[in-house]
Structure 1
């Protein structure tokens, strides 16, 4: 006998007034699916728990509205980009600003954390993509090639590539270790809003204002399929964790897609409006949207949503036979080499970019960091989420699924959602008339019938920047190394200690030489001797002393110091 099912498939969880002015950016933490960050025209970044109405933490320091936000995989860091082009990285566990990353010349439109390295990618209205090393406060590389604003960035699951979607109707795939463009995917006829890698296969999905979702093969560099039936622009997309389907957020609905062949498994009516981000937790899809100063969160019960041509478990009747799910083509494409653990980080150092792209931290940056504050609004929730007791990892523990409202309603009919009467307004930002820094040669398009080796568009310089593949690959763990005995561990520590002692002893001798000249002669001769030693650390030490007494500075000292300062700006020293 069939059992009538009356449980809700989708419902509104809550609505909060997130800022004192308009909300401009919203993002969910993908680790737990329960952390929410909002940015507003009030220049603040506020941190929330999806199911609670009170703000946990408020981050201040930006002087222009927040345009883009992103939370790292373990939900310990958050990066915020503003309208002025400034980027700040915050440590949520320590409740403080970690880095200020200036370099872009216009709005920050997109941000993304590397899956397991200390890197952040940023895309801007200035058409550039920058790769940052959070540890060293520096821009590693600048990718140039888009001609309009870069709206979305995503690192590949193996950390080797970054995909970019832009208003110039293209999707580009960049090789991080080579510093070059791998391929340009063309076919969209409107601005591309979102791009997302398949969690396992060499497959990429993109959603556009042209109301289509396209799937791209990353081995053959060609389109797999295109879904063109939608009535409103695609706002956000997210693959199911096992890669069986793609969820797409539209103005009034959630749609579930397959790509081989292209088909829509289900349409769930959700009147979430300007939906901005999706996340999955406990077999529930969480969606967040914003309108003016309010942010709303919605829940879709995925156990009641078909993810293939079979019927979901919650809708199976007693008289229906089980239908095996349709394969999604996982055997047709290569699988990513996944990290052994999500906490693994590459250990090798990353070299800075060329002189033209280098950024030397200034006193202004330091002042910006000092003026940036993280104010904890709700101490109890903060400790529960960011400082859990006896926690092995920093990601807050996954809680029970969000309960549906008590009112029951019939299951939504599985029919195509009607187009929203209100047109989906697209706010177009004025184009920045910037010169194209690189003459771009013609590149093989994804629409060509024959597959040839893709041309390469050089990035900001002609040669790779010295990055090693290991910088973007998970560190390989040797079983024997993980079980080092105390004596072996101490031996490794001693090696580093001895090296440091040799360096410091040499530096001490050089400083003694300079001090001897200082005591018997004038400051100019002592500075000459410091330069002659050819050790920049000695020059830095001497400059620190001279800077304490401004009266020591003369014009002849400047002529000696300026060439050394140029060397310092190109060196590994941060200060």
Structure 2
């Protein structure tokens, strides 16, 4: 009698070279689980169909590395934010650029599409959150409150709230209709990397670098439970579609959690490294990870994963899949979201002669849109995924067909195991009622007359009301600023900034006077003595361009300053510190290790003793910096790759 073939619980699907340079961000389409978008240091956004080797479409236009990408729910639009702070929106069905949005002053760390309206939220390293109207290229609201980079944004399922997670260890909840913060959730002791709303109930989950996942009640605005002991920083979490559990993409594993009380239902080992995004389709969980220019995709069969606290009585004798053995859902514990009865179509094309679109042909954002393109790389896959515009609906590719699992004994696939964690069966997780999706009703044609828009510069809000994008919501009239109040806000901090810039100019003149004498070491000493990191950065940016200026005694002065730069909140300071440290390691580390390893000399050699003293000092300083570099090597994006490179260069210190 033949032995039945046992399939795996998790397996690697494929690995592709996604960009010509390092991949900096990626996202899965949540509706199909089959569409993948990647952003790279080559300034491109590439579209892929999961389990297919060829790029479907390549989107160009950004002039700096792409730091964040996001697909809207119907997977018709994609938005990408760059390192320079610019945002671009492409229409995937029309294969063209739709909008260019300018206004942020630093990296775009996070993006999200509004579930019903034509709006995009963006979070930046400049600590600001902005809500953009895609139709009119305008900023509707600016939300201020975070003190460090905003790492994740998520709209609530009903489209009324926006949750934000930041490096300042906090999660904030914003009321879009009132344009202000509703609540702040403290408690994390490290940067918060991800937030996710429960699909039905008033519940929010947040994951942090402190290796914890916290659940927040959005009616009482308090913590429900906290899961501790994650194997590493939490970067990706996802609720099951019916809300029965939360999946956490950990280092080389998938963990399944309940929250009342907090407990782990299951652990599945998956060799995906640091998974960057998760999606669920057809009882399969898709996970994607990236390393340098490569992107890998993985599959977990959820029918073989325990998702509640009730274990099947005899799963061996019962021939039904595990998913069919789960208890029937019951009533939810909390209030559920009230979704609108209609959904919005993708942004309508506003006529060029309308007031909101009237631009100068030479304006910068129009030029950016002309230079942004969507190049179809594979017409066959493109036509399969994006049907013609006159189609009634679009069907994701082979959505009904799950990915086939390899045999359990296939040695070519990654070895995996499935431990059985302790399950507290006395406290089964409450099931929630799955709400039917609202019927899709065709949107009425847009009115001919455009609403009046307050003229403003493109970096400022254009004066729209938040109620424009929320159905049947009324908000009180907000008082407009009078000219005197507006001018006082503009002048706020102006005098302080003038004092800072004047002081910096004076300090630079002092350093430049020493520089003209040709004594580089004394110039650096004077910059350090001034105790102004901005002056040190300006000087290092010059010295870094000519490696011959570097000497061993210069390293002893600069290394303590580099340690300060690597811990700075300013991106340019960190970048300069990484460049200087890399130059020192490449030029002097072999010399330092050779001199320290050499046997002691016989007799008196003053110059050799001085060189040995400098090498010992540099070695001590580098050892102090190495722990900092190691701790930051796990960061994502360009800085993460820079710190990983420095960590490899410093390996010989051990």
The answer on whether the counterparts of 2:26 and 2:276 sit within 8 Å (CA) in structure 1 is yes
CA separation of 1:312 and 1:296: change in aligned 2, threshold 3 A: farther
Counterparts of residues 196-211 of structure 1 (less than 5 Å)? 196-211=196-211
Instruction: Report deviation, 1:61.
Output: 0.8
CA separation of 1:314 and 1:126: change in aligned 2, threshold 3 A: farther
| Normalised TM-score (structure 1) | 0.68
**Does the residue aligned with 1:331 lie in a helix, a strand or coil?**
coil
The answer on whether the counterparts of 1:70 and 1:80 sit within 8 Å (CA) in structure 2 is yes
Q: Deviations over 1:339-380 (max 9, x none)?
A: 335446899x9xxxxxxxxx9997111111111111110011
The answer on whether the counterparts of 1:31 and 1:395 sit within 8 Å (CA) in structure 2 is no
Instruction: Work out the CA distance in 1 between the residues paired with 2:106 and 2:169.
Output: 20
Aligned to 1:443: none
Aligned to 1:334: 335
- Matched residue pairs, number? 418
Q: Deviations over 1:235-270 (max 9, x none)?
A: 100101111110110111010010111011000101
| Normalised TM-score (structure 2) | 0.60
Aligned to 1:158: 158
Instruction: Report deviation, 1:218.
Output: 0.1
Instruction: Report deviation, 1:393.
Output: 1.5
Q: Deviations over 1:103-134 (max 9, x none)?
A: 00000000000001100000000000000000
Counterparts of residues 248-327 of structure 1 (less than 5 Å)? 248-311=248-311, 315-318=315-318
Per residue, is there more helix in 1 or in 2?
A: 2
**Does the residue aligned with 1:56 lie in a helix, a strand or coil?**
strand
Aligned to 2:51: 51
Aligned to 2:380: 380
Instruction: Work out the CA distance in 1 between the residues paired with 2:4 and 2:189.
Output: 44
Give RMSD over aligned pairs: 3.1
Instruction: Report deviation, 1:293.
Output: 0.3
Aligned to 2:192: 192
CA separation of 1:13 and 1:6: change in aligned 2, threshold 3 A: same
Instruction: Report deviation, 1:406.
Output: 3.8
Instruction: Report deviation, 1:472.
Output: 1.8
Aligned to 1:540: none
Instruction: Work out the CA distance in 2 between the residues paired with 1:17 and 1:384.
Output: 22
**Does the residue aligned with 2:365 lie in a helix, a strand or coil?**
helix
Counterparts of residues 61-460 of structure 1 (less than 5 Å)? 61-311=61-311, 315-318=315-318, 331-343=332-344, 363-387=363-387, 391-397=391-397, 398-408=399-409, 412-415=417-420
Instruction: Report deviation, 1:94.
Output: 0.6
Q: Deviations over 1:33-81 (max 9, x none)?
A: 1000001000000000011000000011100000000000000000000
The answer on whether the counterparts of 1:75 and 1:395 sit within 8 Å (CA) in structure 2 is no
The answer on whether the counterparts of 1:116 and 1:345 sit within 8 Å (CA) in structure 2 is no
Counterparts of residues 471-550 of structure 1 (less than 5 Å)? 471-473=469-471
Instruction: Work out the CA distance in 2 between the residues paired with 1:237 and 1:296.
Output: 18
Instruction: Work out the CA distance in 2 between the residues paired with 1:337 and 1:142.
Output: 26
Instruction: Report deviation, 1:329.
Output: 8.7
Unaligned runs of 5+ in 2: 351-358, 423-460, 474-654
Instruction: Work out the CA distance in 2 between the residues paired with 1:163 and 1:197.
Output: 8
**Does the residue aligned with 1:332 lie in a helix, a strand or coil?**
coil
The answer on whether the counterparts of 2:7 and 2:407 sit within 8 Å (CA) in structure 1 is no
Instruction: Report deviation, 1:469.
Output: 3.8
**Does the residue aligned with 2:367 lie in a helix, a strand or coil?**
helix
Q: Deviations over 1:363-402 (max 9, x none)?
A: 1111111111111100111111112698422352524000
Unaligned runs of 5+ in 1: 350-358, 418-462, 476-575
Q: Which range moved further: 391-400 or 370-379? A: 391-400
Instruction: Report deviation, 1:31.
Output: 1.4
CA separation of 1:319 and 1:240: change in aligned 2, threshold 3 A: closer
